[in-house]
Each structure stands twice: as C-alpha cells, then as structure tokens.
Structure 1
Amino acid sequence: MKNYRKLLCLAVLTLGFVSCGEKKETDPMGNPIEETKTTTTALSSKDLGKELFEGKGMCATCHKPDAKIVGPSIKEIAKMYTEKKASISMFLQGEADPIVDPTQFEIMKANFAITKTMTEEELKGLEDYMLSIK
C-alpha cells in the first residue's frame, strides 16, 4: 500500500510538472505548429495611394490616368491641383470646392462617403499617387 501511494504521488507530481511547461499548438494530426514571424513592408505613401485608388476608394471606376471617363483624368486633376496649389485631400474630405470640373461634383459627392472615412495617411497617399501621374 505504501508503494502504491508513493507511486501515485510521483505520478501526480510528474503530471503537474509536465503540464506546467510551455504549451505548443498542434495541427489535427498532433504535430507541433511552429510559429512563423512575418514581416510586412510598409508601403510608400504613393503605393498606398495607388492601392486605395484602385481598390477601397473606387476612384478608378471614374478616373483613368490619361483619359476622361466619367470624371477627369488623373493627369488633368494633378495638373490643376498643382497649378492652383490646392489640396486633393481637403477636397476628398468635402472641405474644399471642386476646381477641375465642377459640373461633375454631384457625381463625385457619392464617393465622399468613402473618402471621409479615410485616415490622413490614406488621403495623403491618394494625393501623392495622383500628383505623381504626369
């Protein structure tokens, strides 16, 4: 009986120490899953702007680099904003009047629902991207 108690105590202590160790995730087959560390490369402001222009911002639906579709071309927008030293970001926030083609302003207002939710960094990226198109 004494040996049984000693063996039981030893088993409990062993399990206690083993279960306190570092826990590792396993896949469904019981194999340990190794942690992978990913590094992300920060996009340049211009690259972020291009990504937003073609994606979330939905700008590419109406604006092309060098052709008027629904709205003016990016080149035309960049030229006007550069010449007038105006801010595309301010316009996209609804805080500045349209200067390129005011007749298209009502159509553009629909996109303000998207652009007004963008961060300053995103708006700066859009502006940098658009001004880089020459």
Structure 2
Amino acid sequence: MKKIIALLGIAVLSISCGKKEKTVSATANVSPEELLVIEGKALFESNRAACASCHKPNQKIIGPSIKEIVKVYEEQNGDMIAFLKKKAKPIVDPEQYSVMETNFAILKTMTDRELESLVAYMYSEK
C-alpha cells in the first residue's frame, strides 16, 4: 500500500511539473507587451471582471464596442486608466455611465497591472 501511495505521489508531481514547463515555455517567447495583452484579454473575458458581458470587440451590446471605446479615447486623447480608477469623467457614451458605475466596485479591487492589461488588450483590438 505504501508503494502505491508513493508511486501516486511521484506521478502527481511529475504531471504537475510537466504542466508548469509547458506554461512557462508557452509564454517564454512572448514580449512583455504581448504578455500584457494576453493577461488583459483573460481578465476582460473572466467572470471576475465581467467586461465581456457588456462590451464586445465589434458591436455594441449593453456598452459600446471595444473598437468604439478605443476610437473615442484616441480622438480625445483620453486616459482610460484614469477613467477606470474613477479619476476621469466618462467620454464614451456618458448617458450610459450609470450602468458602468456599478462596475467600479470590481475595478477598485484590481491592481495597476491588471488595469494596464485591460487597456492594453482593448487597444490591441482596434
């Protein structure tokens, strides 16, 4: 019985170590900017951030599309991170601000890196 438990332990360790190597090697050839975009996309689409429930890349659902948001921020030289930190007024579809405002509780829990990754992902979709 002890031998079976020991073999199972070794098997689990070798499997988990193998997965780590694959994860590391999958991101080893990615630039820091690309990694930020990858992290942002994962966060954008996650249940934690819930951005994708209202925003799609090319079409307005509840909120404006990602492309529309980026277009307006570029045209008006806006600071999207400042908006996400609630330090800047809405410049995209301000009449819908009350809908977005409920998400600031979620955004407040995010690190600067996470907010930067969201914005990097959104700009990558333009």
- What TM bracket, shorter-length normalisation? 0.7 to 0.9
2:80 is aligned with what amino acid? I
Query: Which deviates more from structure 2 when the two are superposed, residues 83-92 or residues 110-119?
Result: 83-92
AA aligned opposite 2:39: L
Q: Give the ranges of 4+ consecutive aligned residues of structure 1 lying more than 2 Å apart after TM superposition.
A: 26-43
TM-score under structure 1 length normalisation: 0.73
Structure index of larger Rg:
1
Deviations 1:52-94 (A, max 9, x none): 1111210111111111111111000011111222221111111
Report the counterpart of residue 127 of structure 1 in structure 2. Answer: 119
Per-residue deviation at 1:28?
8.2
- Give the share of equivalent positions with the same residue, in percent: 45
Unaligned ranges ≥5, structure 1: 1-25
When the two chains are superposed, the root-mean-square deviation of aligned CA atoms in Å is: 2.1
SS at match of 2:68: helix
Matched, 1:78 2:64: no
8 Å CA contact retained: 1:50, 1:129:
yes
* Unmatched 5+ stretches in structure 2: 28-33
TM-score (norm 2): 0.77
Alignment CA distance shift 1:30-1:66 (3 Å) = closer
Secondary structure (helix, strand or coil) at the match of 2:100 reads helix
What is residue 38 of structure 2 aligned with on the other side? 47
